[in-house]
Structure 1
Amino acid sequence: MKFLRQVFESLRFAWQALRSNLLRTILSLLGVTVGIFSIIAVFTMVDSLENSIRESLSFTGSNTLFVSKWSWDYSEPNYAWWKFFRRPAPSYSEFRFLERNLENAQYIAISDGRGGQTLKHGNNSMTAGVRGITYQYNQISDLPVEKGRYFSPMEEEAARNVVVIGADIAANLFPYEEAVGNYIQIKGLRFQVIGVIERIGTGMFEIGGKPDIRCYIPYLSFSKLFHTKYSEPNISIKGYDRDEKLQELEGELMGLMRTKRGLKPYQEDNFSINRPEAIQNIVETIFSALRGAGLIIALFSLLIGGFGIANIMFVSVKERTNLIGIQKSLGAKTYFILFQFLFEAIFLSLIGGLVGIVLVWLLTFYPQETLNIELSLRNILIGLGVSSTIGLLSGIVPAWIAARMDPVLAIRSK
């Protein structure tokens, strides 16, 4: 109980010392403020970017494998792009073959796209991306239809000229009338609008253009519009939850693709089975490097701030040498003096850290269209932990010197 009371007294002395030298306190914590602001700002921005990109990758769906010409794992050593270049792209006949024979697939779809296409309605026109998809595509990827409907299996198999459009396309081509039921022109052909996708907004990582300026048509209708000889479509397959890590689906898929393409046992695969985790691993590698670089830069600021606090603490010990002697002569314990200066250094650093965290928090109110900046509890705790550690390391030597002073020599000092 006595120990706790003396610790509390040490805290009070430290706080009074900071208040009595307000200008010096403010100047001392600036270095730590800049350092903590740098660290937490970098971590917060990187986390926000990573979250935004992960949300943008929702097009891949969950429990999904992709059959592609190219491998998505660009991080692998000696990436043999020349081999992938010579591979044949997945075809519609291969998609139908897999659709008939796959037993571990819940849904399967083939998709392809073209960007920079001009869409027209009356006197209105705009440039957008056109994507050809098969019926089960909306069961694999997120495609929320707000108005109207999605196309039917019959419309897909008959290659009907129907289209589901993004929210910005509807707003630009049909500013004063209802989009659903109207017609638009794509490469001179009329397509009836049967659905409008709800507004998704802009993400940091969009394949095939922004979702709101993208339209979807049946895959066979897409084949009529564009020369698919030079296309590189993807076949996407959604597995069952019971298939852990989709190992059964991947094995079955590999066997069927090799059978369809007539590959002999000694021949290597001329297709890639990709997982969304490959993109996520690349994202994690990039942002880990960014965090490391930001941390190194911020540590220099913290080092300067730590030296500033240590310097101020040495000055504070020198100024209060006489008071230290009086306290020790009245029976103050060594730890009582030690805690006074140690708490003072930690308070200085913590206040600087809190100011830095508040500055980062203010950044979260800055309006951004593509990036939602969020200050996480984890980053706040990191900031407080780092600033406390800097204060502890900066104050330990001056506090130890003060605690070990001879009371007689301290009282006689001027």
Structure 2
Amino acid sequence: MKFFRQTFESLRFAWQALRSNILRTTLSLLGVTVGIFAIVGVFTIVDSLEKNIRQSLAEIGTDVLYVQKWPWGFGGEYQWWKYFQWPETSYSDYKFLAERIEGAEATVVMDFKGGLTAKNGNNSMDALLQGVSYEYNKVSEVTVEKGRYFTPQEVDAGRSVAIIGAEIAENLFPSDPDPTGKSFKIKGLKYMIVGIQKKKGKSLFDIAGNPDTKVLLPYLTFAKSFQNRVENSVDIVVKGKPEDEGQVELEAEIIGLLRTKRGLKPTQTTNFSINRPEAATKAVSGVFGVITIAGWVIGSFSILVGGFGIANIMFVSVKERTNLIGIQKSLGAKNYFILFQFLFEAIFLSLIGGLVGIGLVYLLSFISLGSLDIILSTQNIILGLSVSSIIGVVAGIVPALGAARMDPVEAIRSK
């Protein structure tokens, strides 16, 4: 009980010492403030960017394989002259795979076309068109808030139906809360709305296009209306079955089937690419890893300066209160009481600096950075406070030990 009471007294002495030297306290914590702001700020921005990118990557599918002409390049030499000679992946490639592949939960064909305008009377809006096959909602997120998804009959027959984004619905039908069942036009062609996607909002990265401004059409409808032919350059997406542990066997099956379809001999090189969204995720994580290290380096220099500043102030504080230390010891104060008194003062200094730095990052989250939402996570707050506490302990331990080991007689005699 006595130990806890004396510990509390040490806390009180430390707090009073900081309050009595406001200017010195403020100056000594600036270094820690800048350091914690740099570290927590970089971590927060990196986390926010990474979250945004991962959400965008989720829209192009997770645990899926993209069969395409061009490979996705993430570093290294990109042999474009080699890939340029390869044939385009076509609708017939998709049909061949869809009819024969055994290790897939879904095989999807899709294609895009931008620069088109959706119209309803005097209302219009630029839209991105995407033609998809029926199982598209199995490989990518399609959150239909009003209405429904396509039926197999609508997709197979190439009917003029559409699933539109929330912004398109708001612009084309401003006074109608639910325009499902109604029609709009693109290039003079009429399409009936069967579903409206849930509003996503602005995003920094829309890898697959913003669903709020997108029009989904059955692939056959899209190809005949906007590509003039079904046999066109397309993207083929294959999703493995849930019970499969990996995609290696599925990839091998795709390669074998498509090589057979294209009549490639065993000695000939495969002339198509199989791309994985996970590769993009790894590349992004690598870039953010470098940025995070840079944040640690920049912040560490500031924290180092701040730590030396706190240590210097603590030495001065011990010197100023040497006589008081002697009096306290002569009245029975234990060494740990003196040690805690100065150690707590150093930790308080560092924690206050850290809290100010975290507060600045929090204020940064209110600044508009376009579609990027800066979110200060609990994890980063804990990181900032932990680093601050460690700096306080490291900077204050030597002066505190010096104060605790003083001879009371010599301390009282000092001026």
Given the two structures, how large is their TM-score scaled by the length of structure 2? 0.91
- CA-based RMSD of the aligned residues comes to 2.5
Deviation, 1:334, is 3.9
1:67·1:273 contact (CA, 8 Å) conserved in 2?
yes
Structure 1, 148-157 or 330-339: larger mean CA deviation: 330-339
Structure 1, 3-12 or 254-263: larger mean CA deviation: 3-12
CA distance in 2, matches of 1:255, 1:330: 88
The superposition leaves residues 192-245 of structure 1 with CA deviations (integer Å, 9 ceiling, x where unpaired) of: 333222212222221243211110112122222126799642111121111102
Deviation, 1:365, is 5.2
Matched, 1:150 2:117: no
Structure 1, 202-211 or 362-371: larger mean CA deviation: 362-371
Deviation, 1:58, is 2.0
Deviation, 1:33, is 2.1
Structure 1, 191-200 or 173-182: larger mean CA deviation: 173-182
User: What amino acid is the match of 1:98?
Assistant: L
1:115·1:209 contact (CA, 8 Å) conserved in 2?
no
2:94·2:108 contact (CA, 8 Å) conserved in 1?
yes
Structure 2 counterpart of 1:67: 67
Deviation, 1:367, is 6.6
1:239·1:246 contact (CA, 8 Å) conserved in 2?
yes
1:260-271 pair list within 5 angstroms:
260-271=261-272
Deviation, 1:262, is 1.7
Distance 1:208 1:377, change over 3 A: closer
Structure 1 counterpart of 2:260: 259
Structure 2 counterpart of 1:226: 227
Deviation, 1:260, is 1.3
Structure 1 counterpart of 2:273: 272
- DSSP-derived class of the 1:86 partner: coil
Structure 1 unaligned blocks of 5 or more: none
The superposition leaves residues 289-348 of structure 1 with CA deviations (integer Å, 9 ceiling, x where unpaired) of: 221222222223222322221221122111111112233444544443333222211111
Distance 1:94 1:391, change over 3 A: same
Distance 1:321 1:160, change over 3 A: same
Structure 1 counterpart of 2:181: 181
Deviation, 1:412, is 2.0
CA distance in 1, matches of 2:356, 2:8: 24
Distance 1:4 1:198, change over 3 A: closer
CA distance in 2, matches of 1:221, 1:73: 32
Structure 2 counterpart of 1:313: 314
Matched, 1:17 2:3: no
- DSSP-derived class of the 1:398 partner: helix
1:353-364 pair list within 5 angstroms:
353-364=354-365
CA distance in 1, matches of 2:7, 2:231: 76
What is the count of residue pairs matched by the alignment? 413
Structure 2 unaligned blocks of 5 or more: none
Structure 1, 11-20 or 268-277: larger mean CA deviation: 11-20
Structure 2 counterpart of 1:192: 192
Structure 2 counterpart of 1:81: 80
1:55·1:203 contact (CA, 8 Å) conserved in 2?
no
- DSSP-derived class of the 1:263 partner: coil
User: What amino acid is the match of 1:196?
Assistant: I
CA distance in 1, matches of 2:349, 2:299: 18
Deviation, 1:281, is 0.7
Structure 1 counterpart of 2:325: 324
- DSSP-derived class of the 2:195 partner: strand
1:359-398 pair list within 5 angstroms:
359-364=360-365, 370-398=371-399
CA distance in 1, matches of 2:175, 2:328: 83
CA distance in 2, matches of 1:304, 1:237: 54
1:63·1:240 contact (CA, 8 Å) conserved in 2?
no
Matched, 1:241 2:236: no
CA distance in 1, matches of 2:196, 2:10: 67
Structure 1, 40-49 or 195-204: larger mean CA deviation: 195-204
2:162·2:216 contact (CA, 8 Å) conserved in 1?
yes
